[in-house]
């Protein structure tokens, strides 16, 4: 079954825009919880005793972390800032997993002091630093991140499992075995292996290939050097259908295929783990923009909105495109086709290019269908923006990062304030006159 993205109705969009301003991130709590439960039930049904962690880099807003922890997910963090977010969201450190290819001594010290549940070791240097800190371990366990030499079908900038990547240690070149030997000799609690091949995957083929290579390596190391192989973490990566993308496998089918293929080669004694992120939150979010200008360029409508690169850098980084809904100020809506479509403009539509307000090309969305009667002041709503928008936002051109509103059963709740001039300039100081 296709996963249908959350959409706003016209009245909702206008009410939220008027109350909270634009650009505005909107998250639907019911959709997040529904996706979380579907993933949890599907993965645990296919792999009893398995563990799911939320990859908080997708959206580390405290409310999102809190919801997913309530739904039974541990939290995967990739920096001290994401660890701090998880702790402030009420997640015990013991239920967090720490990633990162460049962990500092200070970060390792803090993670061990907090009693973090797992650290995913990413280099020989890190393995040695942890060996030097053996006395600081409480109940923290270690996983070794492997480079499985698998190239998935995804954008090159979110492909992380091929041989020439900064992440993990190579099975082929022997650095993975070196790290295991170092940690075992030091008496560190190294209990499993981790691999993540990339993001926005539409099927599990690359993950299956990686899992097989990791499992074979783990089994060989158990026999050769006494590695206590207990956990195989398959990473995350299940994608969503952005504009122009084919529909990915459903969560249930994805989990069935992935676990079925892995379990054929991995004994039941090995606990399987996964770290979904985008697939839980992307389709639960939208971004509301206000149309500021519409101009004709070589016969094509160029639409400029009041946000862009600073609140959604993915089009510039990855060439990402998004489905959009257009809401007229006259309370009459045009909604693009696709899952969840509800109506069309009977007066006709035109194809437009949508641009942001920044001093760059800032080309946001291509081939957007807009009503012929579109006007400045209308609302344009980008779908599936719940992942990697808020977490990658910036203050480029001194734009304020948007507020985030969570739609709850009893109404919308502001869970992240819009920045203001005081917060934007809080870190800066004037130097005053010379002399």
Kindly report, residue by residue over 117-142, the tens digit of the pLDDT.
Answer: 999 999 999 999 999 999 999 999 99
Domains of the chain, first to last: 47-275 (3.20.20.10), 283-424 (2.40.37.10)
pLDDT of residue 158: 39
Active site residues: 359
Q: Which tokens belong to 303? A: 């639409």
DSSP 8-state code for residue 159: B
CA 398 centroid distance within chain: 25
What gap in Å lies between CA 332 and CA 347, rounded to an integer? 12
Give the pLDDT score at 151.
52
- State pTM to two decimals: 0.92
Please give the structure tokens belonging to residue 31: 């959709």
Q: For the residues 224-243, what does the mean pLDDT come to?
A: 93
pLDDT tens per residue, range 9-31: 999 999 999 999 999 999 999 99
Q: In this model, does residue 400 exceed pLDDT 90? A: yes
Grouping H, G, I as helix, E, B as strand and the rest as coil, residue 407 is strand
Q: What is the pLDDT of residues 312-359, one digit of tens each?
A: 999 999 899 999 999 997 655 555 555 444 454 546 889 999 999 999
User: Which residues, listed in sequence order, are joined to residue 406 by a DSSP beta bridge?
Assistant: 27, 413
Mean pLDDT of the chain: 91
What is the biggest distance separating any 2 CA atoms in the chain, rounded to whole angstroms? 76
- pLDDT band of residue 155 (cuts 50, 70, 90) is very low
Give the 3-state DSSP-derived string for 189-205, with helices as H, strands as E and coil as C: CEEEEECCCECCECCCH
């Amino acid at each position: 079954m296709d996963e249908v993205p959350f959409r706003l109705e016209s009245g909702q969009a206008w009410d939220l825009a008027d109350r909270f301003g634009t650009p505005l991130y909107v998250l639907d709590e019911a959709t997040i919880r529904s996706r979380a439960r579907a993933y949890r039930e599907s993965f645990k049904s296919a792999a009893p005793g398995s563990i799911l962690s939320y990859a908080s880099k997708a959206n580390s807003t405290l409310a999102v972390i809190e919801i997913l922890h309530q739904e039974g997910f541990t939290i995967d963090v990739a920096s001290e800032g994401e660890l701090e977010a998880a702790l402030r969201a009420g997640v015990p450190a013991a239920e967090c997993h720490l990633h990162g290819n460049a962990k500092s001594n200070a970060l390792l010290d803090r993670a061990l002091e907090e009693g973090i549940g797992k650290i995913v070791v990413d280099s020989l240097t890190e393995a040695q630093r942890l060996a030097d800190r053996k006395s600081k371990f409480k109940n923290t366990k270690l996983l070794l991140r492997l480079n499985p030499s698998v190239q998935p079908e995804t954008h090159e900038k979110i492909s992380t499992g091929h041989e020439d990547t900064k992440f993990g240690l190579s099975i082929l070149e022997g650095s993975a075995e070196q790290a295991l030997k170092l940690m075992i000799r030091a008496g560190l609690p190294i209990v499993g292996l981790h691999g993540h091949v990339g993001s926005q995957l539409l099927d599990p083929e690359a993950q299956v290939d990686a899992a097989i290579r990791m499992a074979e390596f783990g089994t060989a190391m158990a026999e050769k050097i006494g590695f206590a192989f207990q956990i195989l973490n398959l990473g995350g990566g299940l994608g969503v259908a952005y504009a122009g993308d084919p529909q990915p496998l459903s969560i249930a089918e994805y989990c069935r295929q992935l676990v079925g293929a892995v379990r054929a080669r991995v004994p039941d004694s090995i606990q399987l783990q996964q770290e979904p992120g985008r697939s839980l939150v992307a389709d639960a979010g939208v971004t509301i923009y206000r149309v500021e200008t519409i101009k004709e360029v070589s016969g094509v409508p160029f639409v400029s909105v009041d946000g862009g690169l600073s609140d959604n850098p993915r089009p510039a980084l990855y060439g990402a495109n998004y489905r959009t809904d257009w809401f007229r100020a006259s309370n009459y809506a045009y909604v693009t086709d696709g899952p969840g479509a509800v109506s069309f403009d009977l007066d006709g539509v035109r194809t437009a290019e949508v641009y942001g307000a920044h001093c760059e090309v800032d080309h946001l969305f291509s081939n957007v269908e807009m009503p012929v009667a579109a006007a400045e002041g209308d609302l344009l709503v980008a779908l599936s923006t719940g992942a990697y928008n808020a977490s990658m936002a910036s203050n480029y051109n001194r734009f304020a990062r948007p507020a985030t509103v969570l739609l709850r059963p009893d109404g919308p709740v502001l869970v992240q304030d819009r920045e203001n001039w005081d917060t934007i300039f809080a870190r800066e100081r004037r130097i005053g006159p010379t002399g």
